[in-house]
Structure 1
Amino acid sequence: MSELPQPEPESDSQPFLALLPNLVTMIGLCAGLTAIRFVLAGKFELAVILIIFSAVIDGLDGLLARRLKATSEIGAQLDSLSDFLNFGVAPGLLVYQFALAESEKMGSWIVVLVYVSCTCMRLARFNVAQNKAAVTGIKPPPHFVGVPAPAGAMLALLPAFVAFETGAEPAPPLLTGGYLLGVGLLMVSRLPTFSPKSLRVPKAKTGWIMIATALVIGALLAWFWLSLILLTAVYGLSLLHSFYKVFRHGRG
């Protein structure tokens, strides 16, 4: 009597490409940690550049995971934890050290705590929504609810962009603190905000999109801080448009 074939034992290894998105996430995390190091050393421009680099990485790791079909639960958790440090802790500390530290008696640290806490709650709410969509099979809306953490970090860093471009002193602590508080509240708001997933670009327009992307990259290389100011201002205008639509819908 011949023996039945035995199933092969499951391998503990996995292809390197499956690990690549998580490695990219860890690179972004290291960039955020290094940004904090430069904040403590007073090298604010380098710190901002590293936070922006981590924002680029944040978009890249998800794209890689989808292209390589390497999405995983641990990857999602790593991404969320990395986002909290890169777009919550690092920008909060930078704005504090850059513009608010000298006004400690005015409660500036409390504003930073609120901003970082709002980032944490924004990411937690996003994770819950994603898990709920996966369980129920109901697709989430094409727009974001509240300002996403990377966009919130760019908004929070706007006072630094302006100071670096103009060479002027940071805005008064009261103004900067109030602005940072507003950014934090926008992240945990229910305001529908722009998401790239909501874009529907006809194939005939693809060439124009590539040209526009090349122009943006060229502008960043030639006028880095000014381009960041303009891009952040455009996003701010999109938020005003969202407020207007919500107000008009409520009045209607």
Structure 2
Amino acid sequence: MKKHIPNLITTGNLLCGCLAIVKAFEGDLAIACYLLIIASALDFLDGFAARMLNVSGGIGKDLDSLSDMISFGLAPGLILYQYVKVLNQNQPVELLTQYPWLMYIAFIIPVFSSFRLAKFNNDTRQSTTFYGLPTPANANFFIFCILLYLFPDLPMVIDVSGIVQPIVSNPLIILGFGVVFSFLLVAEIPMFALKFKSMKWADNKLPFSFVLLWLGLLIFTNIAAMPIIVIIYVVWSIIAHYFLSPNKQVTN
């Protein structure tokens, strides 16, 4: 029975992704984003459960990738497309009004996510180290940018809304992030995997450090913590790869 537990959690991830797509079509972007946050939690839990239960092999890896393609590829691409449409309707941008097909750039996310996940399934290097930005991190960057726009008056100990709001409310900037982050999905840049081997600090110093950093940012900047921590994750990985240890993998 225990071998099926991770797969059941994975199907919950898939279901949330499907429902997020429905909500995006209905124009309920907030609920769509909430569903992908739940999907992200389930995506973390299925891997954690598999490691704790010592379950591996079978259909788990393929099922996980297929679920991630829906929840962190197709769903965020569609949500981003709908979001950019809303932004352009509220404050029309001449370029997007003249060339509305540019909004389809949002679908570069599912395209590159498919390559990212296929690469992961066939790359034996990616156990404790990812090569390229993980799809859940990419999806959560955009999810929380959208939520920051939808809820601009959230209380913050350190008020970063003056910096954040002009960024998240500009459709061209958001689409630009979509292009840059899509290329990061398939970039040959080692990025550490947020996988906990156990609950011991000694075994998981880097993941625990990033979780603590994220919690600190959450306390001071509310949900702006997620886009910030994703950017820190990317920048740290690039610096570690190109400047600190260019010939070594980033590991735990």
TM more than 0.5: yes
Q: Displacement of 1:140 after TM fit? A: 4.6
Structure whose alpha-carbon radius of gyration is higher: 1
Tell me the amino acid that sits aligned with residue 43 of structure 1: D
Q: Please state if 1:152 is matched with 2:103.
A: no
| Cα pair 1:155 1:183 within 8 Å, conserved | no
2:110 aligns with one of 98, 105, 116: 116
Match for residue 230 of structure 1?
225
Partner of 1:163: 149
Counterpart among 168, 189, 192 of residue 190 in structure 2:
192
Q: CA deviation at 1:141?
A: 6.5
1:80 corresponds to: 65
8 Å contact from structure 1 (residues 96, 108) kept in 2: no
Alpha-carbon displacement from aligned partner over 1:7-54 (angstroms, at most 9, x marks no partner): xxxxxxxxx322221111111111111111111122111111110100
**Whole-angstrom CA distance in 2 between matches of 1:71 and 1:250:** 31
What is the aligned counterpart of 2:50 among 39, 59, 65? Answer: 65
8 Å contact kept, 1:143–1:198: no
Deviation at 1:106, TM superposition (A): 4.1
Alignment of 1:1-252 (within 5 A): 16-100=1-85, 102=88, 103=96, 105-129=99-123, 133=124, 140=126, 142-166=128-152, 171-197=169-195, 201-202=201-202, 216=215, 226-248=221-243
1:36 to 1:248, Cα distance in 2 relative to 1, 3 A: same
Where 1:157 maps in the other structure, the secondary structure is helix
* Matches of 2:133 and 2:109, distance apart in 1: 12
Determine the C-alpha separation between the residues in 2 that align with 1:17 and 1:251: 41
Contact 2:69 2:114 in 1 (8 A): yes
**Pairwise CA distance, 1:190:** 1.1
CA–CA distance in structure 1, aligned partners of residues 138 and 246 of structure 2: 28
Quote how far apart the aligned CAs of 1:251 are: 9.5
Q: State the TM-score, normalizing by the size of structure 2.
A: 0.74
Q: Say if 1:159 and 1:100 are closer, same or farther in 2 by CA, change over 3 A.
A: farther
Instruction: Provide closer, same or farther for how the CA distance between residues 65 and 108 of structure 1 changes in structure 2, counting only shifts above 3 A.
Output: same
For residue 15 of structure 2, give the secondary structure of its aligned residue in structure 1.
helix
SS across alignment from 2:122: helix
Q: Distance in 2 between matches of 1:161 and 1:180?
A: 16
Seen in structure 2, the aligned counterparts of structure 1 residues 26 and 251 have a Cα distance that, compared at 3 Å, is closer
What displacement does 1:194 show?
A: 3.1
Matched-pair identity in %: 26
How many residue pairs were aligned?
219
Give the counterpart letter for 1:191 in structure 2.
I
Q: Is the 8 A contact 2:81 2:104 kept in 1?
A: no
The residue identity in structure 1 corresponding to 2:6 is: P
Residue 193 of structure 1 aligns with an amino acid whose one-letter code is: M
Equivalent position amino acid for 1:201 in 2: W
1:4 aligned partner: none
Q: TM-score, normalised by structure 1?
A: 0.74
Alignment check: 8 A CA contact 1:119 1:149 kept: yes
CA contact (8 A) 1:31 1:51 kept: yes
Displacement of 1:238 in angstroms is: 2.8
Alignment gaps of 5+ in structure 1: 1-15, 134-138
Q: CA deviation at 1:109?
A: 4.1
Distance 1:124 1:92 in 2: 18
